[in-house]
Structure formats: C-alpha cells, structure tokens
Amino acid sequence: MLLLEWQRSYRRNGLGNQLFLYASLLGIASRNHLHPIMPSYSPVIKVFTLGGKDLRIADPEAYDTLVCKGRSLPQPEIYSAFCCTYFSFTEKLKNHVENDVVLHGAFQSWKYFHPEYSAEIKQSLKFRADIILEADTILENITKDLHSDTELVGIHVRRGDILRTHLRQFGHVPAPGSYFQRSREYLDSRHTSLFYVVVTNDVPWAKEAISGLNAVVLEKVKPEVALALLTKMKHLIISTGTFSWWAAYLSDAVEVLYFNGTPTPLSFYDITFRAEDYYLPNWKGLS
C-alpha cells in the first residue's frame, strides 16, 4: 500500500500541484507494485473522472487514519523537501521498507511517471462532461469566424498570487510581457495563420501585454474550464507554475514553449528546482 500524504497545506494548493501528487502517486506505486491510495478531498476528483489502475479513494477519516497508522510502522515515511527534483530511490522502495509507505512532498517531476505510465495517467484523467461542454462552447465561439486552416495557440498568463512578496522571496518569477512577445514571434516564424487564445488571472495586464487582431483574452473562465480549453490547443505558451505545465502534458500540442527565467538564482526555489527533471525534453524554453 502506498500513500502520498495530502498534507493540510497541500489541500489548499492549486490544481496543477494536485495533479502532480496524483500522477506521481500512481507512477511510484506502479513501479513498486504497491496499491495507491488517495483521499476523497483531493480537488482532482472534483474535476476529473478518475480511473487509475488499482487506485483506491478513501474518505477523509479513513485516509487520515491510514496515514497516522503509517507513522507507527518501521521506516514508513519518506520525505522529499525538494519540490521539482527527481529522486531515483522511489523506483525501489521495496529495498527500503517492507510494508506500507507514506510519502511526503510535492514530487513535481515527470520522471516519477513518464513515459512508462503516461498513457495510463492521461487515460485516467478525463475531464468531467460539464467541464468539457463549457470548454467546447468557448472554443466554438472563438473559431466560428476563423478560417478552417487557422491553428490555435493557447497562452496561460499567471500573475495574481505569484506577485505576492513571500512567493517572490521564495524564488518565483512571473513571466514578463517580453517572454510572451518573443514566444509569439518564434511561433509566427514557424507557422502560418495562428490565433492566440489567452487565459489568465490578470485580464487587464494580459490585454495590454498580448494584443493584436489575432489574439483574444478570455474573461471569467473557471480554472478547470481554462485547463480543459488549453489542452485542446495546437501549440502552447505556458507560464510559471504547474497549472499550465499540466495543460501542456495533457494536450497533444505540437510545440510547447515555457518561460526559462525562473526560479530566481540562489533562491530556495532555485535550490529545489532542476529544469531537466521538471520540463519535458521536447519542450522549448525561452526567456
């Protein structure tokens, strides 16, 4: 049995962080022939109809009891203080423990589940029907006046919370307008007839930074709908954070561009972050 503890602080985290917990739980469990267990209060359950192999979803009381029980077992707990660094010891947990295992940490690396379990994880993460319907409706309104050969490029602009002092001190860097401009220029040089669809938590800033006749900044779109919408794009320009990381991973995007100007050098985030463990090799970083 394998539990990746959804610590109370993580329960408030965004959907992207929660998806990493889910995917890494399944990947680590599969590699070690363990049964993954997750709590029913995970936000992932509210957005997706999950179907992970051997996945058990426990009610909060039962899950918390299992986690507490794990603390009484020999060597039951494994901690990962580094959010975005891969630790290979998770491939052979059976060499370290004999029974149930409780993992603590964020486990934000594709190497915990990709490529071996990528198909299984993507198959299990199906958006709820009402979310898909809402995303498709938005998509139809965008494309109804576009030429049939137009390719859609999704842009995620994260600002808002990432501008807060404690997150800046931690090492987060919001992607500047120049990054989005450079990304558009890069894609425009490689493709014809592109149309940019922008989702953001800072509409005024995005409208000023990303303008033009071939771009639209969407307003009042729920996060889960925005995520579903981004997965339908032909190309993606992603921002800082795990939300748009998962938009790219769950999509079939031909080209994925990411902002490589984060973390702040020598920050705590920088110490815990390894770009090669976080970004997929076929994604392209721009500053």
CATH class of 128-286: alpha beta
In the chain, where the domains are located:
2-124, 128-286
Given this model, what pLDDT does residue 249 score? 99
- Closest to 3 measured CA to CA, from 50, 43, 38, 51: 38
195 vs 64, more confident: 195
Given this model, what pLDDT does residue 6 score? 63
Per-residue pLDDT tens over the stretch 75-105: 457 778 789 999 998 998 877 776 778 888 8
Percent of the chain residues past pLDDT 90, beyond the cut: 72
Q: Are 141 and 221 in contact (CB under 8 A)?
A: no
pLDDT above 50 (res 132) = yes
Helices first, then strands: H and E counts in the chain: 13, 13
DSSP structure class, residue 166: H
Is residue 54 very low, low, confident or very high in pLDDT (cuts 50, 70, 90)?
Answer: confident
The residues near 68 (Cβ < 8 Å, ≥ 6 apart) are: none
- Tokens representing 146? 């576009």
Is residue 42 very low, low, confident or very high in pLDDT (cuts 50, 70, 90)?
Answer: confident
Q: Are strands 126-127 and 151-157 parallel, antiparallel or unpaired?
A: unpaired
The region of weakest confidence among 24-28, 181-185, 253-257 is 24-28
- Closest to 4 measured CA to CA, from 22, 30, 31: 22
Query: Quick one: average pLDDT of 38-45?
Result: 88
Q: Are strands 77-80 and 48-49 parallel, antiparallel or unpaired?
A: unpaired
Given this model, what pLDDT does residue 151 score? 99
Given this model, what pLDDT does residue 59 score? 86
Strand segments, DSSP code E, in the chain are 2-4, 36-39, 48-49, 56-58, 77-80, 101-105, 126-127, 151-157, 194-200, 215-217, 235-237, 255-259, 284-286
Is residue 52 very low, low, confident or very high in pLDDT (cuts 50, 70, 90)?
Answer: low
Average pLDDT over the chain, rounded to whole?
A: 91
For 172-196, letters b (16+ CB in 10 Å) and e give bbbbeeebbebbbeebeeeeeebbb
Query: Quick one: average pLDDT of 176-189?
Result: 98
Given this model, what pLDDT does residue 103 score? 83
Given this model, what pLDDT does residue 56 score? 87
Query: Quick one: average pLDDT of 17-42?
Result: 90
Is residue 208 very low, low, confident or very high in pLDDT (cuts 50, 70, 90)?
Answer: very high
pLDDT above 60 (res 233) = yes
The region of weakest confidence among 21-25, 107-111, 133-137, 173-177 is 21-25
